[in-house]
Amino acid sequence: MRHAITVSNLSKGFKRYHTGKPTTFMEAMLSGLRQMQPIEQFWALQDVSFNVAPGEMLGIIGHNGAGKSTLLQLIGGVGYPDKGKIQVRGRVGALLDLGAGFHGDLTGRENVLVTAIVAGLTESEVKQRFDSIVEFAELKQFIDSPVRTYSTGMQMRLAFSVAVHTCPKVLLVDEFLSVGDLSFQAKCLQRIAELKEKGCAIVLISHSAEQIQELCDRALWLRQGQVVAYGEPEVVAGQYISEMRSQTQQRTPNRPAQLTDSGAELRINENRFGSLEMEITNVKLLPLDTIESGESLCVEIEYNAPQAIKSPIFSIAISQEDGQTCLDINTLDMQVPMTIVQGKGNLKLQIERLDLKQGNYFVDVGIYEKDWAYAYDFHWHTYLLTVNSSYSNKGILAPPMRWEINTLPVLRDLSMIN
């Protein structure tokens, strides 16, 4: 089979400079050009090989700084490999920082023209496709208004529309699926699927193992520029997730068992995992840790971050004693805005009603690094929740419900006659 993208033994090196490397003439003169020399060279990518066939979607997974973006840029022809070879067949389209190329003072129409030509179309090709670009973006009424009057969502729609209308043979996607509103995302995904069917090879970067598993035909896992695994998405994503867990274990410092303010005992590597750069100091189940099924529950997490932590992810899960997960949610997926966290604070999850069957449950709470790279602090099977109910139930859910019995009126009539 002829591959759309062939990458063989690709390596790319970068030079690291002194942090005090002069950035202006004046500084360079004063420091006498001494600090202009790189202090070390490191490999951003090392001996990477893979193929993508037409109509195939490759997911590249890895933490920040693993070399994902560098790889994507090299495939796109920006920069040159130091070793190895990249072969790309056909027109390359890219969904990188959508809308960044737009100029606010120009109208949508003017921006579409320039952006599409920049993306590789000739002027006559753009004119042919113009109406369908605007239609896909659903911006017909606004196309002659300046782009600065557009919302971010509108700009992204337009940028996406331009990118997919260049009919690329190779499409490079950089983590865009995590932005924009849901209906837009769905539309994008559908369009990408269409392109794929027409034989477009797609490379998608993500740090979400689930996304890769869901969308891709193959996955490549990069760590510090090296391929850790390459193959079936389920397998690669599974390996990636378990690596993340063991990373957390390695990072967990040794420390004697300690008690939270409300008296729960925390033992490292038994029910507590994480680097403890940021700690969960206390977890309260409010109003009580015993509730009636269908009552409300509030989980309050008190934390302490001695150093500033950027955009941590808070996660709460409720599971049965046998490990069955009933609820697993986090602040990232629910798009709770998180900025830099420092010092002490608390965070509450208010559950309006908890319709669980009666029984004992564990409430697991965790704080994770912003890319899910590892846990800062994760308390596992530490907080017990008891749910009472007036009847027994063999399933999981116990929503508000009642039986309605309609007695047959015929019988009653008969008895009246009697």
Partner 1 sequence: MVTRSADSGLQHRWRLPYLWDLLRSLVDRDMKLTYKRSVLGVAWTLINPLLQLLVFAFVFQIVLPVKIPQYASYVFAGLLSWNWFQTALYQATGVIISSRSLIRQPRFPVAILPIVTVTTGLIHFMLALPILIAFLLIDGIQLTPVILFLPILQLLQFAFTVSCAYFLAALNVTFRDTQHTLGVILQLFFYLTPIFYDLKAIPKEYWYIYALNPMVHIVTSYRQILMWGVPPDWMAIAIIAGFTAILWPLGYWLFKRQSHRFVEEL
Q: Which stretch binds partner 1 (CB under 8 A): 102-110, 209-217, 223-231, 346-354?
A: 102-110
Q: Which stretch binds partner 1 (CB under 8 A): 79-87, 187-195, 242-250, 324-332?
A: 79-87
HEC string of the chain?
CCCCEEEEEEEEEEEEECCCCCCCHHHHHHHCCHHHCEEEEEEEEEEEEEEECCCCEEEEECCCCCCHHHHHHHHCCCCCCCEEEEEECCCEEEECCCCCCCCCCCEHHHHHHHHHHHCCCCHHHHHHHHHHHHHHHCCHHHCCCEHHHCCHHHHHHHHHHHHHCCCCCEEEEECHHHCCCHHHHHHHHHHHHHHHHCCCEEEEEECCHHHHHHHCCEEEEEECCEEEEEECHHHHHHHHHHHHHHHHHHHCCCCCCEECCCCCEECECCCEECCCCCEEEEEEEECCCEEECCCCEEEEEEEEEEEEEECCEEEEEEEECCCCEEEEEECCCCCCCCCEEEEEEEEEEEECCCCECCEEEEEEEEEECCCCCCEEEEEEEEEEEEEECCCCCCCCECCCCCCCCCCCHHHHHHHHHC
Q: What number of chain residues touch partner 1 (CB under 8 A)?
A: 45
Our CB check for partner 1 shows the closer of 112 and 316 to be 112
> Which position among 57, 59, 70, 366 is part of the footprint of partner 1 (CB under 8 A)?
70
Segment 22 to 61, residues that bind partner 1, using CB under 8 A: 22-26, 28
Our CB check for partner 1 shows the closer of 39 and 257 to be 39
Q: Which stretch binds partner 1 (CB under 8 A): 20-28, 149-157, 198-206, 348-356?
A: 20-28
Q: Which stretch binds partner 1 (CB under 8 A): 91-99, 193-201, 238-246, 344-352?
A: 91-99
Confirm or reject binding of residue 19 to partner 1 (CB under 8 A): no
State the nearest-atom distance from the C-beta of 174 to partner 1, in Å. 10
Rounded to whole angstroms, the Cα distance separating 298 from 58 reads 41
Segment 158 to 197, residues that bind partner 1, using CB under 8 A: 172
- Both structure tokens of 1: 């089979």
> Which position among 65, 90, 153, 238 is part of the footprint of partner 1 (CB under 8 A)?
90
By DSSP bridging, strand 279-286 and strand 170-174 are: unpaired
> Which position among 53, 106, 241, 329 is part of the footprint of partner 1 (CB under 8 A)?
106
Confirm or reject binding of residue 77 to partner 1 (CB under 8 A): yes
Confirm or reject binding of residue 199 to partner 1 (CB under 8 A): no
State the nearest-atom distance from the C-beta of 96 to partner 1, in Å. 6
Our CB check for partner 1 shows the closer of 157 and 284 to be 157
CA 81, 171, 144, 103: dihedral to nearest 10 degrees?
Answer: -20
> Which position among 51, 53, 117, 223 is part of the footprint of partner 1 (CB under 8 A)?
117
Confirm or reject binding of residue 127 to partner 1 (CB under 8 A): no
> Which position among 76, 108, 233, 366 is part of the footprint of partner 1 (CB under 8 A)?
76
Confirm or reject binding of residue 198 to partner 1 (CB under 8 A): no
> Which position among 5, 94, 134, 278 is part of the footprint of partner 1 (CB under 8 A)?
94
Our CB check for partner 1 shows the closer of 89 and 251 to be 89
> Which position among 89, 191, 223, 370 is part of the footprint of partner 1 (CB under 8 A)?
89
Contact footprint for partner 1 (CB under 8 A) = 2, 14, 22-26, 28, 70, 73-81, 85-94, 96-97, 100-101, 103, 105-106, 110, 113-114, 117-120, 122-123, 172
